[in-house]
Amino acid sequence: MMSYRDALNQAMREEMRRDDKVFLIGEEVGYYQGAFKVSKGFVEEFGPKRVLDTPITEAGFTGLAIGAAMAGLHPIVELMTFNFGILAMDQIVNNAAKIRYMSGGQLSVPMVIRGPGSAAHQLGAQHSQSLEAWFAHVPGLKVIAPATPHDAKGLLKSAIRDPNPVIFIEAQLLYGTKGDVSDGDYTIPIGRAEVKRKGRDVSVVAYSKMLLLALEAAEELTGQGIDMEVVDPRTLKPLDVETIVESVKKTGRLVVVEEGWSFASMGAQIAESVYSLAFDYLDAPIVRVAGEEVPIPYTRPLEDLAIPDRHRIVNAVKKAVSGAEKL
């Protein structure tokens, strides 16, 4: 068993040992060992030239990393929170995502931008946002949001080796979770979903920490005679629509769960894809579970109301299962 935090640490450590072009840059990644201690022990092993502490200048050090990637290095940019990534959106969207296209393929940007996303506990509206749909909207960016330590390690290693810019979002509340992690050097292909739990009555698509809630809901509903299939996209861009569609063809029903806001979201994209490719297999309308359309409140009771929980997922599944026989 290994924690999500340690799985990320191990992935980066192995890749930095494998390739001396890989380096880590960000706020407090060195001597403080990362805001969430993901880079624990790095500066001692790799030194301050490969583990670079920066000022509080997201646009500055993200731009520096883009230049380093264009010159042949493989930077890993750690954002203290993806909310701060907003400050670097010009660099990410107008430079990292477009340089390969605008140079006619002469230049590439092999870099990873990673760090915590979504809400934790009472971090306030400006530090609790789920912004993955922003990045997934942009051609030229790959977006990964793993839920388990095993997937986090394998996908981060793939992201570091990828020749394109990759957005790697780690839900803050996942860092302390534990799970089995395969021994040795392994990677997980970017763009491949996984069925985390097989079932026959309804397909539930959930990613990041919402996946853990979906699995809890599946256990609760088993006792009520509902057999949930749970699909984890793992990668949001490119999205493995085929695996999701195959699940829906089997169950005939779909619930999509995400923490972010519902308007123009990942859940909307997944639902649209299934309606386009598997409409005739649906026995009931797709049900979506998402965060409330409000800034995330600071006070804990209101924060809990704004974010999906297991009970909302259970109710959504019951709604889907009891829905109309045909659309």
* Residues forming the active site: 58, 127
Q: How far apart are the first and last CA of the chain?
A: 44
The residues near 289 (Cβ < 8 Å, ≥ 6 apart) are 255, 256, 257, 258, 267, 308, 312, 313, 316
For residues 273 and 239, the answer to whether their CB atoms sit within 8 Å is yes
Among positive and negative, which fits the CA dihedral 325, 252, 142, 177? positive
Specify the long-range contacts of residues 103-108, CB closer than 8 Å, at least 24 apart.
107/70, 108/69, 108/70, 108/163, 108/164
Q: Which residues of 139-167 are buried (b: 16+ CB within 10 A; e: fewer)?
A: ebbbbbbbbbbbbbbbbbbbbbbbebbbb
Backbone region of residue 209 per phi and psi (left: phi > 0; alpha: psi in -120 to 50; beta: other values): alpha
* Amino acid at position 2, single letter: M
Q: How far apart are CA 131 and CA 112, in angstroms?
A: 16
Q: How far apart are CA 35 and CA 41, in angstroms?
A: 13
* Amino acid at position 156, single letter: L
